[in-house]
A and B are shown apart, each in its own frame.
Chain A
């Protein structure tokens, strides 16, 4: 066990000014340093920040990448999006577990290593992927996994592992105005400063720009409400918590177009009168942190950030806050809770973030891509922006294309593009279904491929996952349903419990224990969760099940048993603990699940052969 160096802890605390608002940031730093936020560390932090110990504990247990026990020197998280599954992540996991002699989700006894799955890491175009101490390794093979294991066994520091392992590719397949050109830093800002805040806001309004995170709220309206709201200070927040499985376009924007993102945030600050901004970077993208900090530093040197931007009486600066593993933090009020160092639980609305956001002050919170779009509008004007897209969805949309396609990567299309056009372009053949907008979005089949990507038809934050006819769509649904059950924050009862019930239902169907009644039960439970949940997570958690029951009902029916009355669970599996305790594994310690002609379960051992 690594001894705790309290001088180093004090340094971490001081770097964050011992400010309780920095609690999540402090705990992330401690987790990285010690591999866990153990009892003495939590006690020390609670006392140093003067916050209740229960609060520190509550934060640690909330976030996926924080832990109350020490996990190990090497902490490996294998990405478990369905696209990683399709590329064989289960074999990668099996290799790691076997070579390292470790149980998934349990620290190895010597404190060396910990291996577990995690939700989508935003590397679906180059999976299967994993994160080791926050750094990504893509295009994994079992051979590479074995090499990783041997590096860990000899204790080689990650810094000396082959640099090539950590390369992340950015494949820009179809470029529109966002991807086609890099603008000179400061040009959008100069254009907006020349117009003045009110005229620039009118330009954004006229452009009809809608939020690119998926909800499609009008950006100008959000900014105007925020600007007009009274407050001690106004804040700008950039939502880079790209958590929707299958989405990775913000990764590309932050890697290649960070200047445009920060410039857009600065434009927002100029309009609403903010001096402080935050980019909330999801934990899975923490490896981008050094790059983003360097861009911020350069922009300060170029007088595009900090005091007196471009010589004007306008000051604004940006901090980067890290997430710690929580899909729900993509919901803007939950994100703000997390920015304030708390558990990322969505707030009750009204009041809305625009008037009561960070520290209850007026705050704009926009998607990474939305800010990039505002910088484009500043440079080229609203008329230019309105030339592409549809009437209700002007402009272009970045799509993260992954799954069964020849050319996964980033595609930029004007809104209104048909699903078929994208499929043709990315080299998808024999397509069975497309999941547009991630698990919370819509699953469509070939008869709907003429439908368009737009807020008025198929809305998406950017996720576009393709499945060919060799795929078991129910395995896809199972992956998504497990995802929601794992990511529910637990605040409201229908989502906390209902997502578990849906998970049980799909597992039951997959295991062959479900009867015809199950589909009706799912529909009813789903409706209840949808109507009563607190936020978008619960309201959309049943979509994968509902969409596929509607469009692919025979798939389900083929897995349902025709009997009216069968055990809803695995009888033999329920005896596993008893067998372990009694150290027995003979035939008589097993129960069969065969049914006789009346539908009654009979003991396979007694029934003799035939099992």
Chain B
């Protein structure tokens, strides 16, 4: 096999890839957007939000976990997949308590941005209105579990980048919730710091700095006018954080 064989087909286009890359990595490198929420290039893919579901040789699978094979036929931007992704985003919205109009993250929220991207107009499903604890014990950071989508990005960032393991997931099924590694279970009693990388990685407004609300008016925020497919997820990188 020579180097020219390393291509696969994504939505009808021949896309080159490097051996060992996942569909997500190869697509991102080629400038093709695949919706996602739990994926971050620095961490081992988790494949749990299922938004990056694509059709691989006729079967559904997650782009962030599936290694590319030469000649693979992958469908990404199709009506069928967009409709399925819309349903999953709607599920995420009804499972938690997401009040975009007054959320500090509105306009910069990846959940909201992906919802715009897949054309979500309503919540479709009945709201669960779960009772979840808000944790305001930390001096600099707020943990609002109402907005948590259990993507585990903060769990991974704290463990792998910050070397702290401040967070974990507990419970099962729809009672799964983010827990904090302290005897009281409160963020204020953990060794979490606003300078941690994990403090900046939340795709929604679940983990958010205090006293920084609404620096920009509605309309001027990142995803207000531009689709996330164009501006990207703007996820922080730990390397950039280290240089700071």
A residues sitting closer than 8 Å to B (CB atoms) are 39, 43, 52-55, 57-58, 60-63, 326, 343, 348, 350, 485-494, 496-501, 504, 524-525, 528, 531-534, 568-569
Asked if B134 CB lies within 8 Å of chain A CBs, one says no
The contact sample of 24 A-B pairs, CB cut-off 8 A, is A43-B183, A52-B165, A55-B181, A57-B179, A57-B185, A61-B175, A63-B172, A348-B65, A490-B150, A492-B49, A492-B50, A493-B48, A493-B51, A493-B88, A493-B91, A494-B88, A496-B174, A500-B95, A500-B174, A528-B88, A531-B84, A532-B53, A533-B50, A534-B48
A334 to chain B, nearest CB (A): 12
Provide the bound-state CA to CA distance between A486 and B49, in Å.
Answer: 19
Query: Which residue on B lies nearest to A525, using beta carbons?
Result: B87
A350's closest neighbor in chain B, by CB? B67
Beyond the given pairs A61-B172, A501-B91, A532-B60, 12 more chain A to chain B contacts, judged by CB atoms under 8 angstroms and listed by A's residue number, are A58-B170, A61-B170, A62-B171, A489-B172, A490-B169, A492-B47, A493-B88, A524-B87, A532-B53, A533-B50, A534-B48, A569-B126
Judged by a CB distance under 8 angstroms, whether B133 is at the interface is no
A53 CB → nearest B CB, Å: 5
Query: In the docked arrangement, what's the CA distance between A86 and B180, Å?
Result: 43
B88 to chain A, nearest CB (A): 5
Which of A54, A498, A525 contacts B168 (CB under 8 A)?
Answer: A54
CA of A348 to CA of B64 in the docked complex: distance in angstroms? Answer: 10
Contact across chains for B170 and A496 when beta carbons are under 8 A apart: no
Contact B168 A568 (CB under 8 A): no
A568 to B170, CA, bound (A): 31
B167 sits at the interface (CB 8 A) = yes
- The reply to whether the CB of B101 lies closer than 8 angstroms to some CB of chain A is no
Chain B nearest CB from A221 CB (Å) reads 20
Q: Tell me if B168 and A55 are in contact (CB < 8 A).
A: yes
Given A493-B49, A528-B88, A534-B50, A54 and B167 touching (CB < 8 A)? yes
**Contact at B176–A348, with CB atoms within 8 Å?**
no
Determine whether the beta carbon of A62 is less than 8 Å from that of B170: yes
Give chain A nearest CB distance to B96 CB in angstroms: 10
Is B28's beta carbon under 8 Å from chain A? no
In the assembled complex, the CB of B213 is this many whole angstroms from the nearest CB of chain A, namely 28
B43 on interface, CB distance cutoff 8 Å: no
- Quick check: B88 and A496 within 8 Å, CB to CB? no
**Which B residues are CB-close (under 8 A) to A55?**
165, 168, 181
Q: Does B149 contact A (CB under 8 A)?
A: yes
Would you list the 10 A-B pairs with minimal beta carbon distance, nearest first? Answer: A54-B168, A490-B176, A497-B91, A54-B181, A58-B170, A61-B170, A488-B173, A52-B165, A532-B50, A61-B171
Say whether A490 contacts B50, CB under 8 Å. no
Q: Give chain A residues whose Cβ lies under 8 Å from the Cβ of B150.
A: 490, 493, 496
Is B214 engaged at the interface, CB distance under 8 Å to the other chain?
no
Query: Which residues of B lie under 8 Å from residue A63 when comparing CB positions?
Result: 172
For chain B, residues 44 to 75, give those with C-beta under 8 angstroms from any C-beta of chain A. Answer: 45-51, 53, 60, 62, 65, 67
User: Once the chains bind, are A500 and B183 in contact (CB under 8 Å)?
Assistant: no
Is B125 at the interface (CB under 8 A from chain A)?
Answer: yes
Judged by a CB distance under 8 angstroms, whether B92 is at the interface is yes
Contacts of B173 in A (CB 8 A): 485-490, 496, 499-500
- The answer on a CB contact under 8 Å between A54 and B170 is yes
A58 with B179: CB separation less than 8 A:
yes
Contact of A568 among B87, B88, B126 (CB under 8 A): B126
- Chain A residues with Cβ below 8 Å from B51 are 493
Cβ-based interface call for B128 (8 A): yes
User: B174, A54: Cβ atoms under 8 Å?
Assistant: no
Bound-state Cα–Cα, A166 to B212, Å: 63
Q: How distant is the Cα of A531 from the Cα of B75 in the complex, in angstroms? A: 14
* Least Cβ–Cβ distance between B29 and chain A, in angstroms: 21
Assess the A54–B65 pair: CB atoms within 8 A.
no
Give Cα distance in the complex from A82 to B126, angstroms.
28
